[in-house]
A and B are shown apart, each in its own frame.
Chain A
Amino acid sequence: MAHSERSTELALRRARFAYERAHAIAAARGVAIAGGLVALAYGLHAMTPGIWLAAAALAVALAVLGWRGGAARRGALAGVLAGLPPLLAPSVVFALAHGGHCATCEHGATLQCLITCFVTASLVGVAVGYRASVDPAPRRFAIAAITTAALTGLLGCGTTGLGGALGVVVGVVAGGVTGWLVGGRAAHA
């Protein structure tokens, strides 16, 4: 192999490595963010095995989407931000309604908790769907955002039982589709 070919190959290898390293760092950042969210959820609610499963899935999703880069990474971050209200809202609502800590949600999920999960998830879903519709790669953005938003929300709403879990997932998906349609229609108008 000629010298110039060797140096070109070496440069390409180094460039690829730099690219993959940046993506690996983004994946590690995703895991760290998931860790922070789990710590927050742990402080707010009682953790059930189902919630731990959601936490693990969130960590994997953020790592994979962060590593993938581009719209997947943008969507994952947007999804985490969108998932914060459903993560926090049940605790706030339960505390306001009962003057207690939502650690007891698991045993006595109230209707307010369930409604709060569904409503906040729907609202953030609309925002996510709308934002996805204006992204250069809307489909990938939407899939990543809805996945991480639902998993982040599950860390909070999952503690209220199956009703809360379904509420956040259905809310995020339904809201996301609505936001997408509204955003798409606005773009074509």
Chain B
Amino acid sequence: MIDRLALDRWMAAAAEGDRAALAPLFHALWPIAVRYATRLVGDAQLAEDCAQDALVQLFGQLERYDPARDALTWALTLTTWQCRTARRRRDRRGEADELPADDDASHAAVDGASALERRDLVRAALAALDALGPRDLETITLAVTDTRTAATAPATFRKRLERALARLRTSWRSRHGTL
């Protein structure tokens, strides 16, 4: 269970220069960022690298933290960007042969053909996500991870999500044809 109020409090304290808040903030964010990155990139090692880069970036920019905004959302948005960058780099190097797997059990459950199909689907989805702006990406991230905050009214969030998904559909169609 994520204690979002504690997260916000620690981040605000760290942004105010309180060094004692750094460790608890990091230990609260780290497992979440790693889990989230693993879902995005599949490879556990690469996911740890992405999470690490994201948190390094976040800690380096803590002075810009706006207490009115949600700390976790910011962390996950940075993680998403790092995952996209890492994925692009990996694709460029032609090292994208590993399967995006959740765990060993799921590996065993899928046969080679469906695994390939799944990998292609993930790649296609990430390519479509590449075209979205940070706001859309953040909205979709919040919806997927079910971490929407009370700060945004449900109706507003729904509208924002609708618009983000519409843009995602357009991006998908322009790359891969019909949905």
Residue A145 at the chain B interface, CB threshold 8 Å: no
Residue A99 at the chain B interface, CB threshold 8 Å: no
The interface bits of chain A over 114-146 (1 if a CB of B lies within 8 angstroms of the residue's CB, else 0) are 000000000000000000000011000000000
Query: How far, in angstroms, from A26 to B62 measured CA to CA in the complex?
Result: 12
Report yes or no: A22 in contact with B61, Cβ–Cβ below 8 A.
yes
Segment 51-82 of B: residues with Cβ below 8 Å from A: 51-52, 55-63, 67
Interfacial chain B residues near A22, Cβ < 8 Å: 59-63
The interface bits of chain B over 40-59 (1 if a CB of A lies within 8 angstroms of the residue's CB, else 0) are 00000000100110011111
Residue A36 at the chain B interface, CB threshold 8 Å: no
Majority secondary structure, B binding face: helix
Report yes or no: B60 in contact with A11, Cβ–Cβ below 8 A.
no
User: Which of B9-17, B125-133, B152-160, B162-170 binds A?
Assistant: B9-17
Residue A48 at the chain B interface, CB threshold 8 Å: no
Interfacial chain B residues near A17, Cβ < 8 Å: 56
Q: Which residues of B contact A (CB under 8 A)?
A: 14-18, 22-23, 26-27, 30, 48, 51-52, 55-63, 67
Query: How far, in angstroms, from A17 to B59 measured CA to CA in the complex?
Result: 9
Report yes or no: B23 in contact with A12, Cβ–Cβ below 8 A.
yes
The interface bits of chain A over 68-83 (1 if a CB of B lies within 8 angstroms of the residue's CB, else 0) are 1111110000000000
Query: How far, in angstroms, from A72 to B14 measured CA to CA in the complex?
Result: 13
Question: Which residue of B15, B51, B62 contacts A11 across the interface (Cβ within 8 Å)?
Answer: B51
Query: How far, in angstroms, from A109 to B74 measured CA to CA in the complex?
Result: 55
Q: A22-B61, A137-B16 are in contact. Are A15 and B67 (CB under 8 A)?
A: no
Query: How far, in angstroms, from A136 to B68 measured CA to CA in the complex?
Result: 12
Report yes or no: B52 in contact with A69, Cβ–Cβ below 8 A.
no
Q: Which residues of A contact B (CB under 8 A)?
A: 7-8, 10-12, 14-19, 21-23, 26, 68-73, 136-137
Question: Which residue of A7, A8, A10, A18 contacts B60 across the interface (Cβ within 8 Å)?
Answer: A18
Query: How far, in angstroms, from A78 to B178 measured CA to CA in the complex?
Result: 56
Which residue of A is nearest B62, CB measured?
Answer: A19
Interfacial chain B residues near A137, Cβ < 8 Å: 16
Report yes or no: A19 in contact with B22, Cβ–Cβ below 8 A.
yes
Query: How far, in angstroms, from A155 to B26 measured CA to CA in the complex?
Result: 42
Find the residue from B18, B55, B63 having the highest chain A CB count within 10 A: B63
Query: How far, in angstroms, from A69 to B60 measured CA to CA in the complex?
Result: 12
Query: How far, in angstroms, from A21 to B63 measured CA to CA in the complex?
Result: 12
Lowest 6 A-B CB distances belong to which pairs?
A70-B16, A69-B17, A18-B60, A15-B59, A70-B17, A11-B52
CB distance from A111 to the nearest CB of B (A): 43
Q: A8-B30, A11-B52 are in contact. Are A16 and B17 (CB under 8 A)?
A: no
Question: Which residue of B26, B52, B59 contacts A7 across the interface (Cβ within 8 Å)?
Answer: B52
CB distance from A16 to the nearest CB of B (A): 6
